Amino acid sequence: MNFDFSDDQQQLRDAVQKWVARSYSFDKRRAAVKAGGLDRAAYAELAELGLTGLYVPEALGGMGMGPMEAMVVMEELGRGMVLEPLLQTLVASGVIHGYAPEAVQADWLPRIASGEALVVLAHHERAARWHLDRCTTTAQNAGGWTLTGTKSVVPGGDRADAYLVPAMAGGQMALFLVERGAAGVTATGYVTQDGSRAGELTMADAPATLLTTDGLTALEHAVDIGIAATCAEGVGAMEFTMALTADYMNTRKQFGVPIASFQALRHRMADMKMQLELARSMSYYASLKLNAPTAERRQAMARAKYQLGVSMRFVGQNSVQLHGGIGVTDEYVGSHYFKKLTQMEMVFGDTLHHLGEVSARMQDQAGVFA
């Protein structure tokens, strides 16, 4: 039992932190949002740092790292509120490496690691909400797989290069890879509440590559990689939000004194600190459990995402309240962190959904680690 970061992990954190400080100013981010919410040039810089290959084996051009390194990176990207979807890259590379045939791995993983190919998870459907097993997109195999159906709120939207798509093949869910440029594929794009890009993906007999016929297992794993990464990203964003709020409270004066001197506000801050540290503890827990056996992993992710959801909402809302009027303006960076925190609560299953998951998975066991 040990919670120290290794020197290598610390160096990785420093490198990402430095990149954010040097290359990802709030003004630059604002311009990227205006230009559609995903800047492939900035994504290429993440690739130059090697981050797109974090989960790709070294033999295939990546860094072959694990969940704790991913956590460190995502904390820093969350702190910098980086729009470019490295999280999706972690999901795609993790799932392709874990489930796809070797030839597919050899084809895609080097391109993912180099940043040439941005692959994202396209699994939402209008009627499915957070239920991973509900899927109406269908797959046909007549001399090669083709998919028909629509996926919604797909991260990256029309600026991604390929999509991981669950579809029903016969009675069973399988997982496919569909390229944006393939025949029968239409991808649109729009900006979401946090400024990042998403879109709608329509497939009409679109050619697809089969990754695995055990689609639900792979999809659950994909979502869990996403949950662990979101938790870490949330911790980084909350940390920044807290620092911003503390700074503001020590600067802003009312009644002739800094508002940081008022006990009602100080206690609010103490409660935010509690939520941050509970969230950080559960983010560690999520990443430490990401390679656990399936049932244990799923239970851990539900617990973690529930805590993060509670914490992100509390820290976000109260940060706005402690700022007063400036906190609800578009001009101020804080409101953008609030929107980011809000959106993170609503990806990969919201807080009520995961409470239901925890509740359904509760078992009698002596000790929560048993």
Q: In the complex, which residues of this chain contact another protein (CB under 8 A)?
A: 1-5, 68, 242, 246, 249-250, 260, 263, 266-267, 269-274, 277-278, 281-282, 284-285, 287-289, 303, 306-307, 355-356, 358-359, 362, 364-369
Instruction: Retrieve residue 187's tokens.
Output: 């991808």
In whole angstroms, how close is the CB of 179 to another protein at the nearest point?
A: 37
Cβ distance to another protein smaller for residue 188 or 250:
250
- Closest CB 304 distance from another protein, rounded Å: 8
Burial 102-114 (b: 16+ CB within 10 A, else e): eebbebbbbbbbb
Q: Closer CB to another protein, residue 16 or residue 310?
A: 310
Provide, rounded to whole angstroms, the least separation between the CB of residue 367 and another protein.
6
β-sheet bridge partners, residue 198: 155, 190
Closer of 288 and 333 to another protein (Cβ):
288
CB of 273 to another protein, least distance (A): 5
Nearest approach, Cβ of residue 365 and another protein (Å): 7
Could you tell me the smallest distance in angstroms from the CB atom of residue 165 to another protein? 32
Count of all residues that appear for the chain in the document: 370
Which tokens is 121 given?
Answer: 């998870």
Q: Comparing C-alpha atoms, which of 251, 275, 345, 304 is closest to residue 67?
A: 304
- Which of 57, 262 has the CB closer to another protein? 262
Task: Give CA–CA dist 236/230, Å, rounded.
Answer: 10
Q: Which is closer to another protein, CB of 68 or CB of 178?
A: 68
Considering only CA atoms, which of 125, 130, 103 is closest in space to residue 227? 130
C-beta separation of 93 from 61 below 8 A: no
Nearer to another protein, 330 or 364 (CB): 364
Contacts of 346 (CB under 8 A, 6+ apart): none
What is the enclosing helix (H) or strand (E) of 137? none
Half-sphere exposure of 328 (CA within 13 A, CB side): 6
